[in-house]
Amino acid sequence: MPSTLHPLTSLTAAGCTAVITTAAGAWPLSLAVGLAAAVLAVRAGVGRRVLAAAAAVLLPLGLSLLMLHGLFFPEGRTVLAAWGPARVTAEGLAFALESGSRTGACVMVLLLFSFTVSAPDLVAALAGRGLPPQFGFVVASALTLLPVMAGRLDNIRAAQEARGLVLRGGVLSRLVGVRLQMVPLVLGLIEDSGSRAQALEARGFGGPGPRTSYREVADPPVGRRFRAALLLLAAAAVALRLAASWPAAGPS
């Protein structure tokens, strides 16, 4: 279901939400943003697709964060359990939760945008701002990369399991299967990029000269003011984050 917002407004809202969530670095805010994105996806009729794509991306990431930071966090002091060099610390689990929730919120917001935006409207809106159409196609392709990767990972996993490879066993089996899945995924994405580039060149998108757009996208003034407010909020969040992390100047 395409979004009723202007494509640039949806793009700005998704990007600024990701920036503000990352700058805040608070897991309650990240969880709230992720939950809000899930609710909006369900209301837009793309909830199942968004959640499936998010699960395919975030479950391996969450597992790796849990193993890396939950078991081997160098700054951990509160040890909850220990097995040789591996130590489960409260600080490590907190860091893994913060990183995972922040990344999950950003992924959910971008997936919501990619599944609801109209790609032709986005390309037309970017071209109307004086940008070349190739740039619009690159942006649209980049924003749809996550759902494409999720779908291809499912197909690759099913094909490998049909050949006798077990990928749904324990943790070690999953880690071994990651390499076997990434190689065909990356090769397929490279092949698709080459095919799209040839198609664009064949249709004259690389040629010089003036261009005429046959698709007009209405951009009301309230949408432009809303985008400006979002950009100011994102800039303020980044500035506050930098000011908070800047070392305090003490007496020399």
128 within domain boundaries: yes
Co-location of 136 and 187 in the same domain: yes
Q: Give the residue numbers spanning the domain of 127.
A: 121-203
**Alpha carbons 77 and 90: distance in angstroms, whole number:** 8
| Closest CA relative to residue 126, chosen from 208, 213, 200 | 213
Co-location of 43 and 141 in the same domain: no
**Predicted TM-score (pTM) of this structure:** 0.69
Among residues 117, 145, 163, the one where a domain terminates is 117
Residues 6+ apart with CB under 8 A from 113: 3, 10, 11, 13, 14, 143
Which token pair is 149? 């990767």
**Alpha carbons 10 and 7: distance in angstroms, whole number:** 5
Co-location of 1 and 113 in the same domain: yes
239 within domain boundaries: no
235 within domain boundaries: no
Contact assessment for residue 19 and residue 232, using Cβ atoms and an 8 Å cutoff: no
Contact assessment for residue 2 and residue 117, using Cβ atoms and an 8 Å cutoff: yes
| Closest CA relative to residue 208, chosen from 116, 134, 151, 110 | 134
Co-location of 107 and 143 in the same domain: no
Co-location of 95 and 178 in the same domain: no
Co-location of 132 and 89 in the same domain: no
**Alpha carbons 76 and 157: distance in angstroms, whole number:** 36
Co-location of 159 and 75 in the same domain: no
CA separation (Å) from 42 to 1, 10, 36, 48?
11, 17, 10, 7
Co-location of 66 and 153 in the same domain: no
Residues 6+ apart with CB under 8 A from 95: 69, 73
Co-location of 135 and 87 in the same domain: no
215 within domain boundaries: no
Overall domain count for the chain: 2
Instruction: Return the pLDDT at 40.
Output: 93
Number of H helices, E strands in the chain: 9, 2
Co-location of 82 and 127 in the same domain: no
Angle at 233 between CA 230 and CA 235, to 5 degrees: 110
**Residue 250 dihedral angles phi and psi, to the nearest 5°:** -105, 175
Among residues 117, 135, 164, the one where a domain terminates is 117
Instruction: Return the pLDDT at 90.
Output: 80
- Give pLDDT tens digits along the chain (252 positions): 556 788 889 989 999 999 999 988 888 999 999 999 999 999 988 888 888 888 877 888 788 777 777 777 777 677 777 776 777 788 878 888 888 888 889 989 988 988 888 877 877 787 777 666 556 666 666 655 655 665 666 677 667 666 666 555 554 555 566 667 667 777 776 776 667 667 666 666 656 666 666 677 788 889 899 999 999 999 999 999 888 877 644 444
